[in-house]
Structure 1
Amino acid sequence: MSSAFRTPEGAKAVRESYEQLLEHWPSPSRRHLVPTSAGETFVIESGPLDAPAVVLLHGTAANSAMWLSDVAAWTQRFRVFAVDIIGDAGLSAFNRPALDTDAHARWLDEVLSALSIQRTSLVGISMGGWLSLDYATRRPERVQKLAVINPAGVGEPRNVLIWALPLLMLGRWGRRKMIERIAGAPSGAPSPDQAAVATFLELIFSHFRPRTAALPRFDDAALDRLSMPVLAIIGGRDVFIDAPGTRARLEAHVHDLTMSFLPDAHHFVPGQTSKIEAFLAAKPTASA
């Protein structure tokens, strides 16, 4: 397999739609194609040059467009770097290194070095949350703060392919039902921005080859190495992760943890922009 997409035409359609969405990036930005040994990595950089660095890592079957509703606020006080994960539905190279090695941490080392970032805060969702945790457990000295939304690899693994793949085979109806299971059923008429994102997700799911390898589960010793302040936002109705187990393990092993458990939230948790911004901006307490 040489592409994350089923056909060149599908890849082109997703790329063009993504580039159109990026025209609405709400802050002045600079776009990079960063060279790494795992392939070129696409990064959108925005915010004050002298502000603290924050690196954003999206979920799988997605790209940095998922941060469109957040970056306007975050770039008021942070230098934000939205990274398209390699091997996914963005503009980075197709490369999927083994997940049970340090390959992704070494890839992120190279990205940070190319961007002249010595230490940064990380914000990640789903697989991006797993990548953030993986990096923070291996390179705790390089992570200022860590915010994760429904991160994989903490609770007991779930075999989502049992229900996800059959839905993907049922055409547009199935793709919409899958999005509902991920984000919850829509309430009321969507805004134009919400409608555009939903259409984009449908496009991705119709052309993208999802990852099928299970994300490794972090052992207790790895979680014990999370010495930085950690914010965890967990949706109780998430279909991808074991939400209660994720909460319990983080509370048991992370010393400086802010837990936000939202029992009625799904995998996509809207409205968290201010909460994450406040966490990233807070000064360390005297006891930290």
Structure 2
Amino acid sequence: MKYVVAFIMISLIISCNNFREFNEQSKTKKLQKEFKSFTQENPSGNGSFEEKYNKTLELWDIPFVELYIETNYGLTHIIVSGNKDSIPIVLLHGMNASSTMWYPNIKSFSNNNRVYAIDYILDAGKINSNAKIKTLEDLNNWFSEVLVHLDLGKVNLVGISQGGWQATLFTISSPDKINKLVLLSPAQALNWAKPGFDLVRNIIYNINPKRENTENLLKTLSVDVGGINPLFIDQFYASTKLTPFNEFTMKMQPFADEELNSIKVPVLLLVGDHDIFNDEESIERAKDVIKNVKCEIIKNSGHFLTFDQTEIVNEKVVSFLNSNEFNHN
């Protein structure tokens, strides 16, 4: 009898796995069909880095489709997941991290929303891009053009680190395109990074990255480097090595009071309690100058709080985006 029960249980497990695989394949095909007018094959590969990117993308544990959009400023790579029933979410990643850094969050973010994870055109990415971005106006125009190509109206914009700074810039410049704004440990959007050994280590690493120093470097950004998948760590190093230290990094300066005060959409600001870029001063300034902001410090997390406290961050971001608690002023 016990063999019969065991057989039945094994059969059920196999059936469930087969159904799950079939369901995911069906969702992927549906996405591919929906975006059939877009280029879905990489027209300009980026060699060994593309291989590392693809390996990390295997951690993206839900159906997705990759798009390659030609803009006036260069080719842009985007990963699309989820259903389009609600207001779309646009994700902007941190420096040298690419959109694959959202692998711990994408399943939660995509549960009720269509999600577009955009690779920053000036970072090393899956494509060999010769970006024509020269000014902040170009950067704004590039982002607006991507939204137009995707035929998106208002979006919920989520940015982390460098992506948080960019998300702030885009919200200030194009307020009519943003429904809600989420800032996850934004780099230098609210205040200058405090001088210190960890900040110096980051600058040195970006100028001269070495694989053997990568985990130690990440310890300045995360309180739990062991929790970051090694595939992503390998890709992070490769991206840093390929991405030149560009002039836009120097233009990432704190926004003026009047610029931040012009933001009318609901804003969620989350920073880690071990963040090298943000602290209580960042929180207080946000409360003082942003009209409709909800702020919180996430305990036991560094600058990469999406890795350090994944479940907490996922819950707070999704709850904020789906809540009617905050209304536009």
- What range is the shorter-chain TM-score in? 0.7 to 0.9
Q: From 5, 15, 21, give the equivalent of 2:56.
A: 21
Distance in structure 2 (CA, Å) of the matches to 1:96 and 1:69: 32
The more displaced of 139-148 and 172-181 is: 172-181
1:183 corresponds, among 202, 207, 222, to 222
Q: Which residue of 2 aligns with 1:258?
A: 294
The size of the alignment, in residue pairs, is 272
SS at match of 1:35: strand
- Superposed displacement of residue 177, structure 1: 1.4
Paired letter, 2:286: L
Q: Deviations over 1:58-77 (max 9, x none)?
A: 01111110111111122120
Shift of 1:284: 4.2
State the distance in 2 between where 1:286 and 1:46 align. Answer: 27
| Residue 74 of structure 1 pairs with residue 115 of structure 2 | no
Cross-structure match for 1:220: 257
Q: Could you say which residue in structure 2 is the equivalent of 1:35?
A: 70
User: Residues 83 and 166 from structure 1, CA distance in 2 versus in 1: closer, same or farther, beyond 3 angstroms?
Assistant: closer
d(CA) in 1 for partners of 2:123 and 2:194? 21
2:314 is matched with which residue: 256, 273, 277?
A: 273
Amino acid corresponding to residue 283 of structure 1 in structure 2: N
1:27-48 alpha-carbon deviations (Å, 9 max, x no partner): 2222211111110111111111
Q: Is the 8 A contact 1:120 1:143 kept in 2?
A: yes
What does the per-residue CA deviation read over 1:183-226, in whole Å, with 9 as the maximum and x for residues that have no partner? Answer: 1354xxx46x6233233323334444344632132111110111
For 1:102, what is the secondary structure of its paired residue?
A: helix
SS at match of 2:294: strand
1:89 matches 2:89: no
Structure 1 pair 104–25 and aligned structure 2 pair: CA distance change class (3 A): same
How large is the Cα RMSD of the aligned pairs? 2.4
Shift in CA distance, 165/259, structure 1 to aligned 2, threshold 3 Å: closer
Query: What is the 5 A alignment of 1:1-288?
Result: 12-91=47-126, 93-95=129-131, 97-98=133-134, 101-152=136-187, 153-157=189-193, 162-167=200-205, 169=208, 171-184=210-223, 186=225, 190=226, 194-211=229-246, 213-214=249-250, 215-239=252-276, 241-262=277-298, 264-269=300-305, 270=307, 271=310, 272-285=313-326
- Alpha-carbon separation, structure 2, partners of 1:286 and 1:167: 42
List structure 1 runs of 4+ shifted beyond 6 angstroms.
none
Name the CA distance, whole Å, in 2 between partners of 1:91 and 1:170.
19
Aligned to 2:16: none
How far off its partner does 1:263 sit? 5.3
Contact 1:150 1:243 in 2 (8 A): no
Letter of the 1:54 partner, please give it.
I
- Decide which moves more: 120-129 or 166-175: 166-175
Amino acid of the structure 2 residue aligned with 1:123: V
Contact map agreement 1:41 1:91 (CA 8 A) in 2? no
Which structure: greater helix fraction? 2
1:146/1:228 contact within 8 Å kept: yes
Q: Distance in 1 between matches of 2:177 and 2:145?
A: 13
Structure 2: any 5+ residue segments left out of the alignment?
A: 1-45
What is the distance in 2 between the residues matched to 1:72 and 1:110?
Answer: 27
2:13 alignment counterpart: none
Shift of 1:156: 1.9
Higher relative contact order (CA 8 A, sep 6+): 1
Question: Are 1:59 and 1:126, in contact at CA under 8 Å, matched by a contact in 2?
Answer: yes
Q: Is the 8 A contact 1:122 1:147 kept in 2?
A: yes
| Aligned sequence identity (%) | 24
SS at match of 1:33: strand
Residue 54 of structure 1 contacts residue 123 of structure 1 at CA under 8 Å; is this kept in 2?
A: yes
Question: SS at 1:181's partner residue?
Answer: coil
